[in-house]
Structure 1
Amino acid sequence: MTTIQPNDGDYKNLRSQDRPAEPSADLFVPQPLDATAREELAAPAPTFWKEAMERLFKNKGAVVSLVLLIILGAMALIGPSMNEFTYREQHIPHSNLPPKVAGLEWLGFDGKDVNGVDQYAQRGVETNYWFGTDEFGRDLWTRVWKGTQISLFIALVAAFLDLVIGVIYGGISAYYGGRIDNVMQRIIEILTGIPNLIVIILFILILEPGIRSIILAMIITGWVGMARVVRGQMLQLKGQEFVLASRTLGASDSRLMRKHLLPNVMGPIIVTVMFTIPTAIFFEAFLSFIGLGLQAPLASLGVLIEDGYDAIRSFPYKLLIPAVVISLVMICFNLLADGLRDALDPKMRK
Structure 2
Amino acid sequence: MTQIAPEMWAKLPADATQAPPPPPAPTYGQEVRRRLLANKPAMASIVFIVALVIAAFFGPALSPHTYFRQDLKLSNIPPVFETYAVTSSTGETTRFFLNASNFNLYEVDSEGHVLSLVRGERRDMIKKSQAFEFGDTTVTLDYSSLPPRLLLADGSELRPSGWSWNRTYIFGTDQLGRDILVRQLYGAQISLTVAFVATLVNFFVGVFYGGIAGYMGGKVDAVMMRFVEIISTIPLTLYVVLLMVVFDSGLLSIIIAIGSVFWVDMARIVRGQILSLKSQDYVAAARTMGASPARILTRHLLPNSIGPIIVTLTMLIPSAIFIESFMSFIGLGVTPPLASWGSLTSEAVETLRAYPHQLFFPAAAISLTMFAFNFLGDGLRDALDPRLRG
**Shift of residue 201, structure 1, vs aligned partner:** 2.3
Confirm or deny: 8 A CA contact 1:98 1:317 kept in the other structure.
Answer: yes
CA gap 1:339/1:60 in 2 versus in 1, 3 angstroms: same
Matches within 5 A, 1:177-196: 177-196=217-236
**Residues 1:222 and 1:112: Cα distance change in structure 2 (over 3 Å):** farther
CA drift at 1:38? 9.4
1:30 and 1:36 map into 2 onto residues whose CA distance is: 12
Contact 1:97/1:133 (8 A) holds in 2:
yes
Structure 2 equivalent of residue 209 of structure 1? 249
Measured at CA, do residues 60 and 124 of structure 1 come closer, stay the same or move farther in structure 2, by a change above 3 Å? closer
Q: Contact conserved, 1:285 with 1:302, CA < 8 A, in 2?
A: yes
Change (3 A) 1:282 1:37: farther
Task: Provide Cα deviations, 1:40-99, integer angstroms capped at 9, x if missing partner.
Answer: 544443222221121111111111111111111211122212321111111222111111
Unaligned runs of 5+ in 2: 82-95, 109-113, 118-166
Q: What's 2:129 paired with?
A: none
Distance (whole Å) between structure 2 residues aligned to residue 40 and residue 87 of structure 1: 66
**What amino acid sits opposite 1:167 in the alignment?**
V
Which residue is equivalent to 2:278? 238
* TM-score normalised according to structure 1 size: 0.83
Note the C-alpha offset of 1:196: 2.6
- Is the aligned partner of 1:69 residue 2:49? yes
Q: 1:31 to 1:100 in 2, by over 3 A?
A: farther
* Change in CA separation of 1:149 and 1:38 when aligned onto 2, cut-off 3 Å: farther
Aligned equivalent of 2:107, options 121, 126, 145:
121
Provide the residue aligned with 2:332 in structure 1. Answer: 292
Q: Paired residue for 1:228, among 243, 262, 268? A: 268
**What amino acid maps onto 2:77 in structure 1?**
L
Counterpart-to-counterpart distance in 2, 1:63 and 1:185: 37
Offset at residue 222 of structure 1 (A): 0.8
- The structure in which a higher percent of residues are helix is 1
In 1: Cα distance, 2:209 partner to 2:2 partner: 73
Post-superposition Cα deviations, 1:178-219, rounded to whole Å, max 9, x if no partner, equal 110111111112222222322222222321111111011112
3-state SS, counterpart of residue 120 of structure 1: strand
**Which segments of 5 or more consecutive residues in structure 1 lack a partner in the other structure?**
1-21, 102-109
Distance 1:188 1:282 in 2: 22
* Counterparts in 2 of 1:178 and 1:89: CA distance versus 1, 3 Å: same
Alignment partner, residue 283 of structure 1: 323
Q: 1:93 to 1:347 in 2, by over 3 A?
A: same
Measure the CA separation in 1 of the matches of 2:28 and 2:257. 37
Match status 1:57 vs 2:31: no
| 8 Å CA contact 1:173, 1:184 repeated in 2 | yes
Q: CA deviation at 1:143?
A: 0.6
The CA distance in 1 between the partners of 2:333 and 2:103, in whole Å, is 36
The 3 A distance-change label for structure 1 pair 76 and 58 is same
* Higher fraction of strand: 2
- Quick one: which amino acid aligns to residue 73 of structure 1? V
Q: State the secondary structure of the residue aligned to 1:89.
A: coil
Structure 1 match to 2:198: 158
User: What is the one-letter code of the residue matched to 2:60?
Assistant: P
Name the counterpart of 1:175: 215
Q: Distance in 1 between matches of 2:359 and 2:17?
A: 69
Deviation at 1:112, TM superposition (A): 6.0
Query: Cα 1:248–1:145, aligned 2, differ >3 Å: closer, same or farther?
Result: same
Q: What is the CA–CA distance in structure 1 between the aligned matches of 2:50 and 2:300, rounded to whole Å? A: 32
**Identity across aligned pairs (percent)?**
43
Contact 1:112 1:118 in 2 (8 A): yes
Partner residue in 2 for 1:105: none
- For the residues of structure 2 that align with 1:31 and 1:194, how far apart are their CA atoms? 83
Cα distance change of structure 1 residues 260 and 100 upon mapping to structure 2, 3 Å threshold: same
**8 Å CA contact 1:97, 1:111 repeated in 2:** no
Which residue number corresponds to residue 70 of structure 2?
90
What letter matches 2:61 in structure 1? Answer: S
Contact 1:204 1:217 in 2 (8 A): no
**TM-score w.r.t. structure 2 length?**
0.75
Matched, 1:318 2:358: yes
C-alpha distance in 2 between matches for 1:298 and 1:199: 23
Rounded to whole Å, the distance in 2 between the matches of 1:23 and 1:278 is 80
Q: Please report how far the alpha carbon of residue 31 of structure 1 lies from its aligned counterpart in structure 2 after TM superposition.
A: 9.7
Q: In structure 2, what residue type is equivalent to 1:90?
A: Q
SS state at 1:294 partner? coil
Query: Quick check: 2:197–2:259 contact (8 Å CA) kept in 1?
Result: no
Once the two structures are superposed, residues 250-283 of structure 1 have per-residue CA deviations (whole angstroms, 9 ceiling, x without a partner) of: 1111111111111100000000100111000000
Give the 3 Å change call, closer, same or farther, for CA 36–92 of structure 1 in structure 2. farther
Structure 1 stretch displaced more, 254-263 or 124-133: 124-133
Is 1:304 the counterpart of 2:304? The answer is no
Q: How many residues align?
A: 319
Match of 1:265 in 2: 305
Q: In the aligned structure 2, how far is the partner of 1:304 from the partner of 1:264?
A: 42
Aligned match of 2:139:
none
Superposition CA RMSD, Å: 2.9
| Aligned residues of 1:97 and 1:119 also touching (Cα < 8 A) | no
